[in-house]
Amino acid sequence: AVAAGLLGGSQPEPVGLPAARGGALLVSSVAAEVASLLERAMEDAGSCANPVLAPKLVEAVSDVSLLWAHLPALLLRKELCSAAHHVASYFNDTTHVVWTVARLACRQHGLARRCGKAAELAAQAGRLSGAALSHMEGQVAGRAEELELLLRGGGIFRGTHKANRDARAREALSDAKGKLTRLAGTWKSVLQPEHFARFFGAVLEAACVSVYDEVTSADDISVAETEALPGILLVLVGDGLGPFLDRRSPGQPEGPRSGDFLAPLLLERAPSFRKLAELVPMFTMGLQEIEEE
């Protein structure tokens, strides 16, 4: 996969990391400098005539990669557990370093093999890839669990024709939408479109599945509930994906309809959003059929 990416003129995509084809990652100056340092070390090793120094320079690339895998996580342990922006930035930075190591391992494969470091460089790229994904997926799981606790259980979508129940359901959906909108704004300003769709889509899907399962779990829905539910569901889905796509993502195409580029990617990751939206006309049509009878 790495070789194919290089031959095609694009960034290599190590196994495990999602693809990003929208352009360069938005990375910190620290990550950019580390990547530059790795490239210079490998270039110096390739031009070094000293048989002792060259392997040491290649080994330095591996050592710096290992340090990167652990140091930011140690320095930002608290932030990586709670702050969406820090997690996304760490993911971008680490992905950038992964791609750099993978590209160097491919471009200088002969040198790395002569120095006995080819397997080690590949292993370091794998470790970095795992570090990038683990923190991001942990953030996704935490946000999804928070929304599931808010929306699932307790009969929140039962008896919604009653004023207090209607208000409770609307409040829960409004709270969930606010959390989703804030998270989308944070991640979308940092992550590549494909990365944003993958990670935010997973959180959005968890929220929508929770609502869909709760609404459709009843054996029988009364006429009064059928009348109330469409308006309640519109709190979450009434504006479509628009609220989650307002901010531009790095690498997103320019133009007034650039949001259309990301919506299909997001719906692939969160198909239950569409299913939930489809419940609105379904309930409305069902109510009309009852009235006609």
The per-residue pLDDT for range 18-43, each reduced to its tens digit, is: 544 445 678 888 888 888 989 898 88
Question: Which residue range forms the structural domain that includes residue 92?
Answer: 2-134
- Are 95 and 27 contained in the same domain? yes
As given in the structure block, the two tokens for residue 173 are 């959906």
Question: Is residue 147 a contact partner of residue 92, using CB atoms and an 8 Å limit?
Answer: no
Average pLDDT of the residues in 177-186: 94
- Are 12 and 130 contained in the same domain? yes
Residue ranges of alpha helices (H) inside 189-270 are: 193-216, 223-237, 259-269
Average pLDDT of the residues in 58-67: 83
pLDDT at 80: 61
What is the Cα–Cα distance from 40 to 231, expressed in whole angstroms? 60
What is the Cα–Cα distance from 115 to 4, expressed in whole angstroms? 24
Q: Looking at the domain assignment, is residue 204 inside a domain? A: yes
What residue has token string 């997103």? 252
- Are 109 and 233 contained in the same domain? no
Phi-psi category of residue 222: left, alpha or beta, with phi > 0 → left and psi -120 to 50 → alpha = beta
Q: Looking at the domain assignment, is residue 41 inside a domain? A: yes
User: Of 102, 134, 166, which one is at a domain's C-terminal end?
Assistant: 134
Residues above pLDDT 70, as percent of the chain:
80
Q: Looking at the domain assignment, is residue 144 inside a domain? A: no
- Are 283 and 158 contained in the same domain? yes
pLDDT at 13: 41
**Residue 281 corresponds to which amino acid?**
P
Q: Looking at the domain assignment, is residue 140 inside a domain? A: no
What is the Cα–Cα distance from 104 to 145, expressed in whole angstroms? 39
User: Of 134, 163, 179, which one is at a domain's C-terminal end?
Assistant: 134
Q: What's the pLDDT band for 290 if we cut at 50, 70, 90?
A: very low
- Are 207 and 254 contained in the same domain? yes
What is the Cα–Cα distance from 133 to 111, expressed in whole angstroms? 29
Residue 18 neighbours by CB under 8 Å, 6+ apart: 194, 195, 198
For the full predicted model, state whether its pTM sits above 0.85. no
Q: Looking at the domain assignment, is residue 146 inside a domain? A: no
**Residue 90 corresponds to which amino acid?**
Y
Average pLDDT of the residues in 170-175: 95
- Are 105 and 176 contained in the same domain? no
- Are 14 and 91 contained in the same domain? yes
The per-residue pLDDT for range 241-271, each reduced to its tens digit, is: 999 987 766 666 555 455 677 889 999 999 9
Q: Looking at the domain assignment, is residue 142 inside a domain? A: no
Question: Is residue 125 a contact partner of residue 98, using CB atoms and an 8 Å limit?
Answer: yes
- Are 127 and 170 contained in the same domain? no
